[in-house]
């Protein structure tokens, strides 16, 4: 059906509505939605590079060298061949693990790296080019060039001439480019005192010689460099990127819209294509739902409605293709609700659903769990799921290194993170976290509490009472009852080696405590390495607390923060 109404506007996304054609006697055609970015699609090669770098950041430059080699590009002449050949290289050279390969493919399917690539283009077109255009010798049409301490170098021989004249004058120069969040810096074993940026269209023939020479300088002279992408000259003429993983809603109001029946106009190519795709998806599985019948929505009794959810779950699990069955049922459940009602529910399915409801909440809300972690409804999207899957996989990999066996790692991971979560939530219908520290021993507690509402003198001097009846008394909007009980706890898991974490502790959290916010604030050191700065600072923090107390620990962070600020130059770099 064609919908005529007010002009639809969107920021960042273009919605194209396509009405699917329908054969005689079939159900009403659905409205399909395709979502496109306002910018042109980036090169697939860059999406592959960025997606691999998220899985394994050390693989970025080795893979860049392989995928930009002329011998490789001569074979990968189409997007399909480029995709297949790239995955083969990634697999053969173990750039990512076997488990990470699945999330890599998902990342490419939803184009999760496209926004980051567009950020490179936006930086170049909106900041770099306008600023450098003020210089008389700047050439905006140069497809590959090096920012050599404020100087644009488009010719490789010119760069070699500069290097041959000596690098000592550039070491520690304030004209060095600033490292940005989007930079992936090629590491060097030498001390960090030489840095430059390579701006390039990686598909340009001049890129490979430039990159090879800068890599040679990194090995021989300790020059670190970062690659920033330049859009090709014909990039703007490329088609817009079609996005996956997003949803769209079309709400029709009969007072605002005019609806015209144009279902006979099914000869339109776009409609035919859309209908063909829909039929293909539905025919891939033997769903056995009587699709040839004329659709009729029949009402259910109250008793049938209560058992509908479990019946749908059993029908999906028993299907030959559970995923397609789930998609089809959720598309048009009223049409199939009578067909999926089961007279008898299998005991194992009923038991599992009852157990999950008892452990994770009895409020009958829709829930999704991943390794025992509840995923909120508003975060149920491919992008967030991708982040969670990567985090869970890395956690399991860390367990594997400790327990030497994948089977033992998975078992211990489940026992520690899932079973303990179940025990905490067995007696409550709300989602809560147990912040009690059960690891306390002669060396002290792992958690450091910055205040204690039940014992600290400041709360007694402020006249706070101990009676819990105050919880029933009206309070000012946005405030909590002032009671000398630790009934609200905020525990922060922080990397103590991070300046941002120190800033949070000595400013925000300390100010909250000073201003008598009725919350007990705690800090849990977050350790991700076996012998990194995060572990060393956490051990030092624990030593200071055990030896000199909390005040000395906070003073230590204040001094480190003050020293760190002294080391910063006005331009944001360290001295």
Model confidence pLDDT, tens digit, residues 379-419: 888 888 999 899 888 877 777 766 655 566 556 655 655 55
The values of phi and psi at residue 130, to 5°, are: -60, -40
pLDDT at residue 133, as a whole number: 92
Same domain, 337 and 357: no
Same domain, 529 and 461: yes
Cβ atoms of residues 305 and 340 within 8 Å: no
Cβ atoms of residues 208 and 159 within 8 Å: no
Model confidence pLDDT, tens digit, residues 147-189: 999 999 999 999 999 999 888 888 878 888 888 889 998 876 6
pLDDT confidence bin for 20, thresholds 50/70/90: very low
Give the number of other Cβ atoms within 10 Å of residue 53's Cβ: 20
In the three-class reduction of DSSP (H, G, I as helix; E, B as strand; rest coil), residue 488 is classed as coil
In the three-class reduction of DSSP (H, G, I as helix; E, B as strand; rest coil), residue 302 is classed as helix
410 vs 23 pLDDT, higher one: 410
Instruction: Judge whether residue 203 has pLDDT over 90.
Output: yes
**Enclosing domain of residue 332:** 302-345
DSSP 13: -
Number of domains in the chain: 5
Whether residue 434 is contained in a domain is answered as no
Instruction: Judge whether residue 262 has pLDDT over 70.
Output: no
Instruction: Judge whether residue 293 has pLDDT over 60.
Output: no
**Burial status of residue 94 (CB atoms within 10 A of its CB: 0-12, 13-18, 19 or more):** exposed
Cβ atoms of residues 37 and 13 within 8 Å: yes
For β-strands 520-525 and 151-153, DSSP reports them as unpaired
Whether residue 202 is contained in a domain is answered as yes
Cα four-point dihedral sign 279, 284, 289, 292: positive
Same domain, 331 and 384: no
Q: Return d(Cα 551, Cα 510) in angstroms, integer.
A: 11
Nearest Cα neighbor of 214 from 268, 297, 153 is 153
Least confident of 171-180, 196-205, 227-236, 558-567: 558-567
Whether residue 524 is contained in a domain is answered as yes
Whether residue 61 is contained in a domain is answered as no
Average pLDDT across the chain, whole number:
78
Cα four-point dihedral sign 459, 463, 469, 472: negative
Domain end among 290, 317, 345: 345
- Counting every residue written for the chain, the total comes to 575
Q: Return d(Cα 101, Cα 289) in angstroms, integer.
A: 35
Whether residue 46 is contained in a domain is answered as no
**CA 312 distance to own-chain centroid:** 31
Whether residue 378 is contained in a domain is answered as yes
pLDDT confidence bin for 428, thresholds 50/70/90: very low
pLDDT at residue 200, as a whole number: 96
Instruction: Judge whether residue 434 has pLDDT over 80.
Output: no
pLDDT confidence bin for 125, thresholds 50/70/90: very high
Same domain, 399 and 371: yes
Q: Return d(Cα 515, Cα 508) in angstroms, integer.
A: 11
pLDDT confidence bin for 12, thresholds 50/70/90: very low
Whether residue 131 is contained in a domain is answered as no
The values of phi and psi at residue 546, to 5°, are: -70, -30
Residues 6+ apart with CB under 8 A from 135: 152
Instruction: Judge whether residue 463 has pLDDT over 70.
Output: yes
Domain end among 224, 255, 271: 271
Q: Indicate the pTM of the whole model.
A: 0.60
Least confident of 23-37, 165-179, 207-221, 295-309: 23-37
The values of phi and psi at residue 333, to 5°, are: -60, -40
Cite the DSSP H helix spans in 26-124: 44-55, 60-67, 70-75, 79-92, 98-109, 114-123
Same domain, 331 and 363: no
Least confident of 153-157, 212-216, 327-331, 472-476: 472-476
pLDDT at residue 131, as a whole number: 93
pLDDT at residue 362, as a whole number: 54
Whether residue 574 is contained in a domain is answered as no
Same domain, 485 and 538: yes
Same domain, 166 and 176: yes
Q: HSE, CB side, 13 Å, CA atoms: give it for residue 178.
A: 9
Same domain, 560 and 454: yes
Mean pLDDT of 196-217: 94
Mean pLDDT of 83-104: 93
For β-strands 373-374 and 369-370, DSSP reports them as antiparallel
pLDDT confidence bin for 295, thresholds 50/70/90: low
Same domain, 218 and 148: yes
pLDDT at residue 21, as a whole number: 38
Same domain, 477 and 550: yes
Same domain, 146 and 190: yes
15 vs 171 pLDDT, higher one: 171
Percent of the chain with pLDDT over 90: 28
Cβ atoms of residues 161 and 168 within 8 Å: no
Percent of the chain with pLDDT over 70: 72
81 vs 27 pLDDT, higher one: 81
Same domain, 199 and 220: yes
Least confident of 33-37, 224-228, 548-552: 33-37
Instruction: Judge whether residue 13 has pLDDT over 80.
Output: no
């Amino acid at each position: 059906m064609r919908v005529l109404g007010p002009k639809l506007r969107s920021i960042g996304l273009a919605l194209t509505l396509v009405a699917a054609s329908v054969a005689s006697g079939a159900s009403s055609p659905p409205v399909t939605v395709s979502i496109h970015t306002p910018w042109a699609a980036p090169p697939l090669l860059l999406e592959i590079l960025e997606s691999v770098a998220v899985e394994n950041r050390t693989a970025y430059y080795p893979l860049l060298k392989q995928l930009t080699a002329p011998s490789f590009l001569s074979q990968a002449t189409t997007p399909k061949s480029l995709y297949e050949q790239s995955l083969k290289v990634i697999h053969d050279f173990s750039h990512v693990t076997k488990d990470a390969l699945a999330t890599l493919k998902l990342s490419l399917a939803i184009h999760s790296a496209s926004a980051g690539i567009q950020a490179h283009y936006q930086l170049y077109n909106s900041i770099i080019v306008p600023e450098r255009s003020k210089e008389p010798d700047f050439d905006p049409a140069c497809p590959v060039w090096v920012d050599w301490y404020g100087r644009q170098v488009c010719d490789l021989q010119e760069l070699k001439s500069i290097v041959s004249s000596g690098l000592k004058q550039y070491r520690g120069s304030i004209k060095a480019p600033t490292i940005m969040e989007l930079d992936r810096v090629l590491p060097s074993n030498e001390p960090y005192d030489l840095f430059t940026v390579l701006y390039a269209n990686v598909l340009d023939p001049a890129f490979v010689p430039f990159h090879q020479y800068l890599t040679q300088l990194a090995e021989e002279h300790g020059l670190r460099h970062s690659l920033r992408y330049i859009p090709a000259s014909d990039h703007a003429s490329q088609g817009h990127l079609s996005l996956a993983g997003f949803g769209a809603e079309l709400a029709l109001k009969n007072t605002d819209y005019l609806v015209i029946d144009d279902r006979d106009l099914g000869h339109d190519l776009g409609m035919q294509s859309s209908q063909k795709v829909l039929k293909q998806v539905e025919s891939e599985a033997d769903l056995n739902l009587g699709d040839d019948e004329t659709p009729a929505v029949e009402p259910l009794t109250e008793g049938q409605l209560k058992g509908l959810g479990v019946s749908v779950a059993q029908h999906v699990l028993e299907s030959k293709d559970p995923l397609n069955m789930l998609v089809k049922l959720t598309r048009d459940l009223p049409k199939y609700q009578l067909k999926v009602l089961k007279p008898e529910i299998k005991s194992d399915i009923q038991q599992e659903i009852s157990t999950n409801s008892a452990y994770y909440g009895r409020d009958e809300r829709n829930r999704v769990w991943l390794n025992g972690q509840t995923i909120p409804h508003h975060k149920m999207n491919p992008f967030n799921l991708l982040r969670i899957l990567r985090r869970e996989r890395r956690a399991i990999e860390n367990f594997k290194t400790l327990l030497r066996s994948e089977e033992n790692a998975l078992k211990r991971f489940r026992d520690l993170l899932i079973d303990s979560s179940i025990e905490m939530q067995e007696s409550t219908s709300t989602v809560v976290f147990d912040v009690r520290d059960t690891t306390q021993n002669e060396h002290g507690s792992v958690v450091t509490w910055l205040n204690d509402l039940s014992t600290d003198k400041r709360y007694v001097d402020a006249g706070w009472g101990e009676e819990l009846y105050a919880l029933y008394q009206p309070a000012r909007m946005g405030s909590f009852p002032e009671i000398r009980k630790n009934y609200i706890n905020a525990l922060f898991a922080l990397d103590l080696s991070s300046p941002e974490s120190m800033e949070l502790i000595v400013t925000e959290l300390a100010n909250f405590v000073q201003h008598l916010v009725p919350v007990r604030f705690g800090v849990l050191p977050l350790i991700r390495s076996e012998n990194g700065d995060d572990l060393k600072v956490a051990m030092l923090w624990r030593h200071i607390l055990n030896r000199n107390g909390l005040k000395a620990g906070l003073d230590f962070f204040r001094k480190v923060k003050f020293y760190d600020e002294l080391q910063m130059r006005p331009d944001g770099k360290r001295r």
